[in-house]
Amino acid sequence: MEEALQEQQEALNENALNNLSLLEGEVSDEPELFDPEEAFKTDDAQQAEADAEEAAAKAGAAMAVGFADTLLRMRYPFVVIPAEQKGQVQEKVAAVISKHGGGLPEWLQPYSEEIELGMTLAATGFGIYLQVQAHNQANQPQPDEPKGGNDASSTSEPEYTMGE
């Protein structure tokens, strides 16, 4: 029995050595030399890609904030968002866009078409709402001027006759 165990152990060792030699055969005999210029090229390419993604996120954020501001001013012309606050909102929106690689988070990916439909319907509905409000305001009857007009005779005291 001891001989069987020893034979089995030798077979396992031989098998392991064969696997190691197979792995060594896959690895090149020549060591790969470090090329600093290649490392900088890779870093430059990665940096350029990161800069492009950041610029795209900032542009997308600026468009979103500008669109929201325009819609708000169309409906409420008296509302003004200070430039500093717009800038803060743009920074935060850009950070969220960058975080998700310019797209939806992974868990929302299956619902992207539904989200786009909702956004399209909301924008269309809001546009229709603004048109109806403008139409209603344009067709609203103007308040009548005070009776008697604005001529000089209407501003004086009425004449009273006694005894008639």
Q: Residue 24 has what pLDDT?
A: 57
CA dist., res. 49 & res. 148, Å (int): 75
SS3 (DSSP) at 128: helix
The pTM (predicted TM-score) of the whole model is: 0.46
Domain boundaries, the chain: 45-78+85-99
| Per-residue pLDDT of the chain in tens (164 residues, 90 and over written 9) | 667 667 777 776 776 666 656 555 555 555 566 666 666 666 777 888 888 888 888 888 888 888 888 888 877 888 888 999 999 999 999 998 888 777 777 788 888 899 889 888 988 888 888 889 889 989 988 777 555 555 555 555 555 454 54
Q: Look up tokens 């006694």; give the residue.
A: 162
Q: pLDDT value at position 87? A: 92
Q: Which residue has the tokens 């786009």?
A: 116
Report the alpha-carbon angle 62-64-67, nearest 5.
Answer: 105
* Token pair for 162: 């006694």
